[in-house]
Structure 1
């Protein structure tokens, strides 16, 4: 089996963060979070990185990554756009944003021909997570056995607003029974300063324990996933054509595959601590966390 591919979801408009956070600097020499993910992926044996971007970001991304990654890992780009016909939808639908993360993954079909890992551009996952995913994708994965990294919800929150997480139900064998995307998870604080984690659905608050296993869009797939996406996406579009906020999320696909007996998904435990930048107020926290990792020798001061 050849080297796995890293697929980076970098097409987001960063509406809450306020800038193109995919290339914002967090490390001591202006390294982006993507830089650290790619560095960890190279160490874990990945052979190719595919950036899924909006076409208008291409020049910025190439200037940021092409030269410094030359000779270290193969680099490719795929565009997430509004052309639905290439995915089996025979009409145009007016929208101001693309169709979500699973739609983004479909955009990489022509650049992926073997086992691959999908991550978010703005999430810091850590070396241990990449090492374990790399091992899984080179020695264990097949079309009936895929994976995800499971993080504890309490270790993935922002103090500055809501987050979206794939909430997992895990069985005794360590496999995923289901995953449900929750888009309004936040700390609900009372007058005494106590706080609990909740999500809202149809105006109703539901509490989630801090140790709930969640997906941070760190998935281990084979190209079989593209086939499932292509089968489900046209129906999703037709059912949501009049809803401009509807999104075809990645967790929809593994959840469908598990429930229809198409594959199981191993929940891989990791000692890595996740952190990310949903809001601009998160930036100094991420910078401080990376500085500590550099000081502790986990990463060199200059990556590339």
Structure 2
């Protein structure tokens, strides 16, 4: 079965090079975090990759990432495609507000893949390292897809303590999971900080403890091709809400999936992973991320030249 990996990379800045966190080299041969995700997805069995980018960065993206990955994927018989997120790609009848300056969030990003996605797919952020286990688990789940189960989704469930930064607060989708391992709700929680071996939410008036063993979503979803149509309907509804902020509001994937969940329209199986998340949330994170990849290479999880083990 064909399964796609959709990589949300439209947030990459138009000025490539220094300062763009998604393009910070972290591997021993200049690999970026996205390279590791692509490697792990292909190893797990994904055979199509869709990059969501913006038109204004297409040339630079292909030069820095796309052409290199395309050459590798060609050898592995993995299809590559591009989708383009645009600020003015709006539902019929909705006009672009004059002072709106950025696209409409992760829900709109995935919607840009309409017409390209005809198979079950996983969605990830471009700048998060997810670990191998989650790709295998999502792929195995998606392999069970049939058109009779268009609303059976899944999400990688990371353990909160494995996703914290040493250098400041992070935002995480804290998951409520029932006894059968299904998601019942997501609470988007900002400013979660590491406190020794524990975790807390940093508030203006102090810290509120949070279970460091909670499951959290890192925007790694397993979805069905039918979902794209549902997402389109949801984008229209987003603009019909009386309190929508048309200048800064975002149509976010986890929030919309949670809305569907609360209405009983979908199920989301939480696939627990013990892998440690890495990401360059703060510039100070980079050194520890580089060290983490170096350690994974020393432990034999990856080859020094990343794709050598699957080419």
Cα deviations across residues 167-206 of structure 1 (Å, max 9, x unaligned)? 1110010000011323x223287xxx897410559x8965
Matches within 5 A, 1:166-185: 166-182=173-189, 184-185=190-191
TM-score, length of structure 2 as denominator length: 0.87
Residue 284 of structure 1: aligned partner: 287
Residue 226 of structure 2: aligned partner: 224
Shift of 1:136: 0.8
TM-score, length of structure 1 as denominator length: 0.88
CA distance in 2, matches of 1:263, 1:297: 39
Matches within 5 A, 1:75-114: 75-85=80-90, 87-93=91-97, 94-114=99-119
Q: CA RMSD in A?
A: 2.4
TM-aligned CA distance change 1:89 to 1:232, over 3 Å: farther
CA distance in 1, matches of 2:40, 2:109: 22
TM-aligned CA distance change 1:211 to 1:265, over 3 Å: same
CA distance in 2, matches of 1:172, 1:291: 37
Cα deviations across residues 97-145 of structure 1 (Å, max 9, x unaligned)? 2111111111112221110000011111111111111111112573131
Q: How many pairs are equivalent? A: 295
CA distance in 2, matches of 1:283, 1:157: 14
Residue 73 of structure 2: aligned partner: 69
Residue 273 of structure 2: aligned partner: 270
Work out whether residues 184 and 261 of structure 2, in 8 Å CA contact, stay in contact via their aligned partners in 1: yes
Residue 48 of structure 1: aligned partner: 48
Matches within 5 A, 1:1-304: 2-13=1-12, 19-63=19-63, 64-66=65-67, 67-72=71-76, 73-85=78-90, 87-93=91-97, 94-139=99-144, 142-182=149-189, 184-187=190-193, 196-198=199-201, 206-239=208-241, 242-304=245-307
Runs of 5+ in structure 1 lacking a partner?
A: none
TM-aligned CA distance change 1:247 to 1:37, over 3 Å: same
Cα deviations across residues 235-263 of structure 1 (Å, max 9, x unaligned)? 32344554533221111222122222222
